[in-house]
Amino acid sequence: MSETATPAMPFLPKDYKSDLKPIWCPGCGDFSVVQAIYRALASIGRAPHETAFISGIGCSSRIPGYTTAYGFNTVHGRSLPIAQGIKLANPDLLVLAAGGDGDGFSIGGGHVPHLVRRNMDITYIVMDNQIYGLTKGQLSPTSPKGRISCTSKYGSLEEPVNPLQYVLGYGANFVAQGSPADLAGMTAIIEEAIRFPGFAFVNLQSPCVTYGEECQQIKGLKAIMEPLASIGHDPSDRMKAMEIAQYYGQKLHTGVLYRNPNPPPTYESMVKQRQEELSKGAMPKEQILDLFIKR
Ligand SMILES: Cc1ncc(C[n+]2csc(CCOP(=O)(O)OP(=O)(O)O)c2C)c(N)n1
Ligand code: SF4
């Protein structure tokens, strides 16, 4: 990648990097995720001040602070309602949301379907390490059955949530998966998700080197990685995407699982249209005020 900005690429990855030094554990997968985000944003070329990056709480949710975008490290599980409010208030902003699997599919799980069905133009990046990292290694909703952790000394008895099936099941129009095990592939997926005109979900299997199991580290992920391009997957085939999503936890399918070739209008565009329609026959502001204020 060129080190000089050009008219075609007005910002470089370093322009999205803040002065804050990440405090993740050395080797944490989230270091690669933030690098991929810098590169994807540079390829897209929107100015940092035109971008808002919203997260919940967790190790992964620190990510907005490491960028020069407007950022809001909100409340555990609440990145999506806040991101939607921001997008509605200023639809011109490029809005990204990010967090962990606990943040997104445990406490925040109830918010995901509503963003999916509204189809707002927000990219949601989940750093799925299959554990609660920040709070020191408790089971998360995506922890595999049998997982031993500080809260499951004899092994988890629960089936994991499958994030890919979860969002596909609610009708998401863009669903992709990547991992720091393939930095270039992960960067391409994030860029494509941001460019998608509507809600885009990206599940990143990002290793937790401190509390994650051996098989969830880079070497283990590489061993089960199967790029979707290598099996000739057609990303416009929703049913096939659902079928592939079943292998979550057994194989690491990387790439775009599903991209709706005819994406529906976004919620914010329909709100704008409704506002324009209703404002046509609306009473002038002055006249409305007259109804309430005695002048
Ligand atoms: C309302 C609320 N409940 C619980 C917590 C404690 N808490 C903070 S982060 C977290 C889970 C972190 O796991 P995850 O979201 O997967 O992110 P990671 O740290 O693994 O990146 C929990 C339970 C909190 N901060 N707020
Ligand atoms: S605890 Fe895990 S997820 Fe959190 S910074 Fe350390 S390696 Fe990363």
pLDDT in tens, 78-95: 999 999 999 999 999 999
Domain residues for 131?
13-292
Query: Per the structure, how many domains does the chain have?
Result: 1
Pocket of ligand 2 (CB under 6 A): 24-25, 28, 30, 59, 129, 133-134, 208-211
Say if residue 2's pLDDT is above 80. no
Contact criterion met (CB below 8 Å) for 54 and 86? yes
CATH number of the domain bearing residue 74? 3.40.50.970
Say if residue 294's pLDDT is above 80. no
Contact criterion met (CB below 8 Å) for 46 and 94? yes
pLDDT category of residue 281 using cuts at 50, 70 and 90: confident
**Looking at the CA of 142, which ligand is closest?**
1
Domain assignment present for 239: yes
Which residue has the CA at smallest separation from atom 8 of ligand 2?
28
Domain assignment present for 7: no
Looking at residue 282, what is its pLDDT? 87
Domain assignment present for 142: yes
What is the residue whose two structure tokens read 């927000």? 122
Q: What is the mean pLDDT of residues 240-253?
A: 98
Domain assignment present for 259: yes
Say if residue 295's pLDDT is above 70. no
Diameter of the chain measured on Cα atoms: 76
By CB atoms closer than 10 A (0-12, 13-18, 19+), residue 138 is middle
Q: Is the dihedral of CA 132, 78, 157, 215 positive or negative?
A: negative
User: Distance from the CA of 248 to the center of ligand 2, in angstroms?
Assistant: 22
Q: Looking at the DSSP assignment, which residues form a beta bridge with residue 175? A: 201, 258
Single-letter amino acid code for the residue at 13: P
